Structure 1
């Protein structure tokens, strides 16, 4: 069905319901294995999926170069499961947390194999676009819905996914636009990039470059590094040689090596710009190192009430990046299952777009459930924003948060910019 629909110029999502019966047979075959022991800290099912259980697996970073993103994402998934239960959700929600590692390991594919064998109905993850590309075909072949709370690579938009891949974070077409405009608006006429060489980094750089040039700025240098590189002095020297007004660091944990090199080269923090992959409060730099640096982060920042709810799940949280998107991913999957009257993967796939748009507006789990129980179509607007899915499983509109570091090397919220990918 996939190749037929593509050759006809349509997305499989538009016709997902037509193949539900056939796909359901495939799903039963893929999920027939018995349950596996749940990893420490999870509540995985004892005997795989069942007709009255929504089995939510996560493939999120416990280790690797995005490990700082893991705690808020795991906490948000657990919070959603807890609040669904408290609201009287009609199915049992089981959560099984697995590690995604990073692109230097094979952890994610093993984790996905475990979840597929156990009968996962939906997989939340990965955080890294590069990691998701290592297992997306594995998930599609198994007929399991994948919802990433943090994948922003534009390459997912047209991926041949048979309707199984979705994301609650917007494409970097939007973040790149905001980042590029921010640097030029701050007075930068010349900009350099230090960029991780993976789909996330290069896609974000491409879109930021277009915005910079459209606003009258110039990109003077771009230095790529490969995941796992530990000595980045050459890249820093290459970019600072042209003395740009601003440098965008499109990186992950390697930022901890990049920033000291920039300081050594005499580059001021007020000209440094971070993105979602490295906007963190966990850097061990001398006081004042990051003062004045700015960063962008897709999504609506977690407000105080939501943070308090997350801290009840994990009191040790320091960062809240992509927690709203992780929470909304679980809630959307749960509402799609309820709308379709079955917590299986194909039902979730076939109803995800419907619960995100064109119905009665609702923001809380309780309100959305009441509308569904009353026979209403719903339009869930979550803690991360409106989340209006298009036919590709992308949010069509979203907030991009802008943040700035203080002398304590902690970032603070400045403002949000709202944008549409249809512009």
Structure 2
């Protein structure tokens, strides 16, 4: 490793780097020449991407290198904004599965997981993904959220890196052209083509909603998740007798949200469907409290999509009081032994019930599926690559085989079969993992209701 005494042309080497005369900047040929938390860029050791640096699991040289880009923080520029509790619990579910996959006696290689916090920023996600692929040599990547999954996939799909999303629900992921050629993009979360149709059908046909004629829809704009659900819901309602008013807003933009709520108040809906993340949804409800027509005392009702199912939305008394009796939907958690086992161990280790958040069981299953992919790739080719792991995932949905529930006591059975090149039929904590040719598993949808300080399950609706 070589060392430069003084650097005076930093801006030439890296956009945004400030002028410095500090000594000790190291030259490098690869990131192995650099110290901890540094990466070799243009032959100089520079800090690793913001939000990266956490490493979990087995750290031995023989371990398989996997990555995760997750929106753990609500803001990249404002630390006071805090963490996204639902995403934090999703990471806990991933780490629980990672610990179980790395237990002694497993019939597969150990795993290292490098975690980066995207803070809901697609550009930051892309930078982190590039670093994980180029410098950490990850063969597979876990993602969350539709926009961030698409940002990561723009890199991973060209680099033969398997990508698995636990909460990317946009229909756009299904039709992404390069994935139809490579088969490297998978998700345990069902497409919003399912959830959107369920929401619309509930509003039209369910006795709890079908008498409500004026439907408002406040949705997250310029985001594949928000726009995707908006399109599915409004198209489904287009031929109904409902009067529908969709109004977009921009993520974490107070002026945009205030304007959207004001417009919705003027529309005076019987029920407002909110498609957005918990922090935005909470602010929308708070603004509704001071409106004329969006208060529960005025007879107005609220309905939410999956991303708002987060106990943080019920922290403030005024919001919680306004939301008593409100409904929402989310991909259903599993109901079998795999979920019961996961739920018990999650509560024992982390405290909260995973049912209080969306996608915790889907996050758990996503890590387990990567573990099965590792077992197949290692067993059938004596090496672990993204394409070979993806090939292994095509063999976990055999309808002709007896189901194997993904628990710590049964996962070795699935690993052994896959390592021998045989197909299996696995059931996850999130339910059936019957993947189709697009790398998706259909899922029933939960209808939940807010009662006190909890989300209570009301119905489980089969996918239409």
TM-score band by shorter chain is: 0.7 to 0.9
1:290 maps to 2:323: yes
The residue aligned with 1:328 is: 365
Q: State the Cα deviation string for residues 254-274 of structure 1 (Å, max 9, x = none).
A: 112100122222424561111
Q: State the Cα deviation string for residues 13-52 of structure 1 (Å, max 9, x = none).
A: xxxxxxxxxxxxxxxxxxx9659658246347465xx5xx
1:73 Cα deviation after fit: 1.4
Give the Cα–Cα distance (whole angstroms) in 1 for the partners of residues 400 and 364 of structure 2.
21
1:152 Cα deviation after fit: 0.5
1:405 Cα deviation after fit: 0.6
Change (3 A) 1:343 1:33: farther
Change (3 A) 1:412 1:183: same
1:267 maps to 2:277: no
Q: State the Cα deviation string for residues 196-235 of structure 1 (Å, max 9, x = none).
A: 0111111101112233345x34242111112231132221
1:346 Cα deviation after fit: 1.7
The residue aligned with 2:443 is: 398
Give the Cα–Cα distance (whole angstroms) in 1 for the partners of residues 85 and 326 of structure 2.
19
Match of residue 190, structure 2, among 161, 170, 173: 170
1:109 Cα deviation after fit: 2.0
The residue aligned with 2:116 is: 98
1:218 maps to 2:264: no
1:293 Cα deviation after fit: 0.7
The aligned runs of 1:13-412 (5 Å cut-off) are 34=32, 37=37, 39-40=53-54, 42-43=56-57, 45=59, 50=62, 53-64=63-74, 67-86=84-103, 88-103=106-121, 106-116=123-133, 117-125=135-143, 127-159=144-176, 160-161=178-179, 162-184=182-204, 185=206, 186-187=209-210, 188-197=212-221, 198-214=223-239, 216-231=240-255, 232-252=257-277, 253-265=279-291, 266-269=293-296, 271-283=301-313, 284-286=315-317, 287-300=320-333, 303=339, 305-315=341-351, 319-340=356-377, 341=379, 342-360=383-401, 361-364=403-406, 365-372=411-418, 376-395=422-441, 397-408=442-453, 410-412=454-456
The residue aligned with 1:15 is: none
Give the Cα–Cα distance (whole angstroms) in 2 for the partners of residues 150 and 178 of structure 1.
17
TM-score where L is the length of structure 2: 0.75
1:317 Cα deviation after fit: 6.8
Note if contact 1:183-1:246 (Cα within 8 Å) is conserved in structure 2.
Answer: no
Which runs of no fewer than 5 residues in structure 1 stay unpaired? Answer: 1-31
1:111 Cα deviation after fit: 2.1
1:375 Cα deviation after fit: 6.1
Give the Cα–Cα distance (whole angstroms) in 2 for the partners of residues 343 and 299 of structure 1.
32
Change (3 A) 1:272 1:282: same
Higher normalized contact order (CA 8 Å, seq sep 6+, divided by chain length): 1
Note if contact 1:299-1:325 (Cα within 8 Å) is conserved in structure 2.
Answer: no
Change (3 A) 1:282 1:238: same
Note if contact 1:359-1:377 (Cα within 8 Å) is conserved in structure 2.
Answer: no
1:191 Cα deviation after fit: 1.0
Change (3 A) 1:401 1:290: same
Count of aligned pairs = 380
